[in-house]
Amino acid sequence: MGYLRSENGYRDFVYKNYLEIPEEARSSIQNFLGGFVPPEDGLTFSDAKTIADSYISSLPYSDMPKASYYRGDFITDFLSENREGNSLHFSTVETLLFRYLGIPARYVEGYILTEDELETAKNGGAVTINPENLRAWTEIYRDGVGFVPYELDPPEIYLHDQMMTDPMTEADPPEDEQADPHSMLLRILLLVLAVIVIMLAVGFAILAIRRAYIRRRYKRILKITDNGEAVSLTTTYLIWVVSHAGIPYKNGSLHDLCPEFEELFGRDMREKYSEVIRIQQQAIFSDLVIYDEERAMVTGFLNEVVGLLGKQASLTRRFRLKWIDCVV
């Protein structure tokens, strides 16, 4: 009976806090469902799942969706304009869609592992977690069980068998047992540890996504076919990079930065920097052709500067340059 009392209390909390939807999002979801309004007595999980599956499957999935500049409600923009997204977009929509249908749900971020990686971990092997493993999913609340993961967006990577049952057919909870104080303390410690791990994972994921977004500027420069334009943008990117190394640029001639380059990187790098500026000014102010070798020289100098910044920095400074400033 103790279990039932605790579960009932938690269930009341869940239904009070995990069915909330912003009004604009509620209106957008209703339009997305063709005006469908759930009955007042609610839907079974099976009916809610059927509705959610049928509508979510109509949206295209993309690991790299096009950028959105909408400044209003995210759900409204996604369902009415873009209609294309990755797991972060889909899981947000799924969470609010289930809430709209009367099923408590919450949005979760974390990392996924393949079956081979899980097998490696079970056998004591090392598993490397990369930014590509980042994924978001929805957790829905099942009466008598708790929150369980659920994914609608393609490809369906994770689907828990518990989620396929209807609440009316779920097994009865176990009989009440005398709680072991040491066991309870261990559970609390594990819960705190899990929260810390999740917070660290989410923080790292946010930094990784931000870094990938900022570094995308440099990758776009590499794809430019016009050498003159590429040289000009690469030089601009170089000045932005060295601003994080204590060489601020406050307009004026770029040649004014030569002493700072020599002081920070040595005379050889100063001479290379002067050559970079010569090529950049030739690209901007003359009709002369910028050859592949000149473009390669500018790009190579940028990469050399980035490498030196990483080598000269302390451990904490290197972390900031990589994950906060995103220049190395």
Q: Tell me: do 129 and 12 sit in the same domain.
A: yes
125 falls in which pLDDT band (50, 70, 90)?
Answer: confident
In a domain, 172, yes or no: no
Domain count, the chain: 2
Q: Which of 166, 189, 215 is the last residue of a domain?
A: 166
In a domain, 187, yes or no: no
Q: Tell me: do 216 and 297 sit in the same domain.
A: yes
Highest mean pLDDT out of 49-53, 104-108, 319-323: 104-108
Q: Tell me: do 117 and 221 sit in the same domain.
A: no
Instruction: Output the DSSP codes for 60-98.
Output: PB-SSPPP----S-HHHHIIIII--B-HHHHHHHHHHHH
Q: Which of 166, 193, 210 is the last residue of a domain?
A: 166
Highest mean pLDDT out of 49-63, 126-140, 187-201: 187-201
In a domain, 188, yes or no: no
- Report pTM: 0.43
Q: Which domain holds residue 14?
A: 7-166
In a domain, 174, yes or no: no
Q: Tell me: do 224 and 142 sit in the same domain.
A: no
E strand or H helix that includes residue 8: helix 2-17
Proportion of the chain above pLDDT 90, given as a percent: 18
In a domain, 313, yes or no: yes
3-state secondary structure of 149: strand
Tell me the C-alpha distance between 328 and 326, whole Å: 6
Mean pLDDT, the chain, whole residue set? 80
314 falls in which pLDDT band (50, 70, 90)?
Answer: confident
Average pLDDT over residues 133-148: 83
In a domain, 61, yes or no: yes
Q: Tell me: do 239 and 156 sit in the same domain.
A: no
In a domain, 11, yes or no: yes
Amino acid making up residue 115? E
Q: Tell me: do 151 and 235 sit in the same domain.
A: no
The pLDDT score that the predictor gives to residue 199 is 92
Q: Tell me: do 231 and 277 sit in the same domain.
A: yes
Higher pLDDT, 161 or 30: 30
Average pLDDT over residues 22-37: 86
E strand or H helix that includes residue 157: none
Average pLDDT over residues 196-207: 89
Q: Which of 117, 144, 166 is the last residue of a domain?
A: 166
Higher pLDDT, 87 or 165: 87
Q: Tell me: do 141 and 269 sit in the same domain.
A: no
Query: What's 44's domain CATH number?
Result: 3.10.620
pLDDT tens-digit map of 264-310: 889 999 999 999 999 999 998 898 999 999 999 999 999 999 899 88
Average pLDDT over residues 80-107: 82
Q: Tell me: do 160 and 212 sit in the same domain.
A: no
177 falls in which pLDDT band (50, 70, 90)?
Answer: very low
29 falls in which pLDDT band (50, 70, 90)?
Answer: confident
Q: Tell me: do 20 and 160 sit in the same domain.
A: yes
The pLDDT score that the predictor gives to residue 66 is 66
The single residue listed with the structure tokens 């103790």 is 2
Q: Tell me: do 122 and 40 sit in the same domain.
A: yes
Q: Tell me: do 145 and 254 sit in the same domain.
A: no
In a domain, 192, yes or no: no
